[in-house]
């Protein structure tokens, strides 16, 4: 069935390090892809999205490119900050449907 696989955490980095959080999906059709972020004690917030192949979503220094050939949507940031510490969820929605399938989340810890 359809699913989303994320790298398991926690991922611990030092401030200003380069970040990659891997996400791959298994889905039929042409899904839209999303990254959500959950800061401590809060709900999930949409971080970025891409709706078709080769699209790049970007926000707050984070980027992710929709790679249909590898069914991936890896999240990257060139220089992380302590304030980026959060849980990051990859998700997709099937073409024409409005349901989201979430990955299990990756806990990111940035140390000063």
Partner 1 sequence: DSGVTQTPKHLITATGQRVTLRCSPRSGDLSVYWYQQSLDQGLQFLIQYYNGEERAKGNILERFSAQQFPDLHSELNLSSLELGDSALYFCASSARGEKYNGYTFGSGTRLTVV
What tokens were used for 26? 């298994």
29 near partner 1, rule: CB under 8 A: no
Nearest Cα neighbor of 77 from 58, 102, 96 is 58
Backbone angles phi, psi at 17, to 5 degrees: -75, 165
Question: Which among 15-23, 60-68, 74-82, 102-110 is the span making contact with partner 1, rule CB under 8 A?
Answer: 102-110
CA end-to-end distance (rounded Å), the chain: 41
Report the residue from 32, 62, 74, 90 that binds partner 1 according to the rule CB under 8 A: 32
Nearest Cα neighbor of 25 from 82, 90, 75 is 90
Footprint (CB under 8 A) of partner 1, residues 35-94: 36, 42-46, 49, 89, 91, 93
What's the min distance (Å) between Cβ of 38 and partner 1? 8
Residue numbers at the binding site for partner 1 (CB under 8 A)? 32, 34, 36, 42-46, 49, 89, 91, 93, 98-100, 102, 104-105
């Amino acid at each position: 069935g359809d699913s989303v696989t994320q790298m398991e955490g926690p991922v611990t980095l030092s401030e200003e390090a380069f970040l990659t959080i891997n996400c791959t999906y298994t889905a039929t059709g042409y899904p839209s892809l999303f990254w959500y972020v959950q800061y401590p004690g809060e709900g999930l917030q949409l971080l970025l999205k891409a709706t078709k192949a080769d699209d790049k979503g970007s926000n707050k220094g984070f980027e992710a490119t929709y790679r249909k050939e590898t069914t991936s949507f890896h999240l990257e940031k060139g220089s992380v900050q302590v304030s980026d510490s959060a849980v990051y969820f990859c998700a997709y929605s099937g073409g024409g449907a409005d349901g989201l399938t979430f990955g299990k989340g990756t806990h990111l810890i940035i140390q000063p």
